[in-house]
A = this chain, B = another copy of it.
């Protein structure tokens, strides 16, 4: 992933990501992917706030459908998916990592990961929550989401949000080694097993997909939410400027 400055999940980025993912999915010579960042210090900053601010309801709906699609495709990919997390990974970035089969994170106390939506006054949707419950269990998810917690890499490892910690210089080689282990398993049996584990969670979103979009659009369109997102964007601009 290389979408400067922070790998935000913009409409363009999501579209390109989905096209590439589908190409690889249909390429029989590709059995696994390693998801990592080409941008220093950040894995992905999550959903692009620009797409959620001052736009039309149609735009919000289209954007949210793309976010759903990214998760649906990644979470049930037939390929082995390994996240090599070489930077911070808040909100939507954390979702992407959790949607992979395995997570390896660079041992750097400055890198954090978590679904921190509540801190911005917004709410992680139920399928973000479901994905987290599937990863770290109900209780850790509950306090994590209610407090919008960001975990340092050692903390994330301790609660099981990432599977393995390695020094940053060994991240890519470890990801490749782990990939070999996964590819040693017969694809067919692994794919059926993955689907058995994840399909009920996917089906929940599919059953409520349009309602989830409507819910997002009406929430994000609220004056109070728009105001707080604009303030947050101003803050980010000044910080970067």
B146 near A197 with CB under 8 A, answer yes
Q: Does A41 contact B (CB under 8 A)?
A: no
Whole-angstrom CA separation of A148 from B196 in the bound complex: 14
Chain B residues with Cβ below 8 Å from A142 are 134, 194, 197-198
Chain B residues with Cβ below 8 Å from A188 are 121
A138 near B134 with CB under 8 A, answer yes
Q: Least Cβ distance of A232 to chain B in Å?
A: 12
A193 near B137 with CB under 8 A, answer no
Chain B residues with Cβ below 8 Å from A141 are 197
What copy number does this chain have within its complex? 3
Whole-angstrom CA separation of A111 from B196 in the bound complex: 28
Whole-angstrom CA separation of A138 from B98 in the bound complex: 13
Q: Does A143 contact B (CB under 8 A)?
A: yes
Binary interface profile of A, 135-173, with partner B (CB < 8 Å = 1, else 0)? 111110111011110000000000010010000000000
Which of B123, B126, B181 is the one whose CB lies under 8 Å from A189?
A: B123
Whole-angstrom CA separation of A193 from B197 in the bound complex: 25
8 A-B pairs with least C-beta separation: A118-B189, A121-B186, A123-B192, A142-B197, A145-B193, A134-B138, A121-B189, A146-B193
Chain B residues with Cβ below 8 Å from A163 are 143
Q: Least Cβ distance of A217 to chain B in Å?
A: 16
Q: Does A73 contact B (CB under 8 A)?
A: no
Q: Which of A137, A189, A196 has the most CB of B within 10 A?
A: A189
Chain B residues with Cβ below 8 Å from A182 are 146-147
Which of B117, B121, B135, B185 is the one whose CB lies under 8 Å from A147?
A: B185
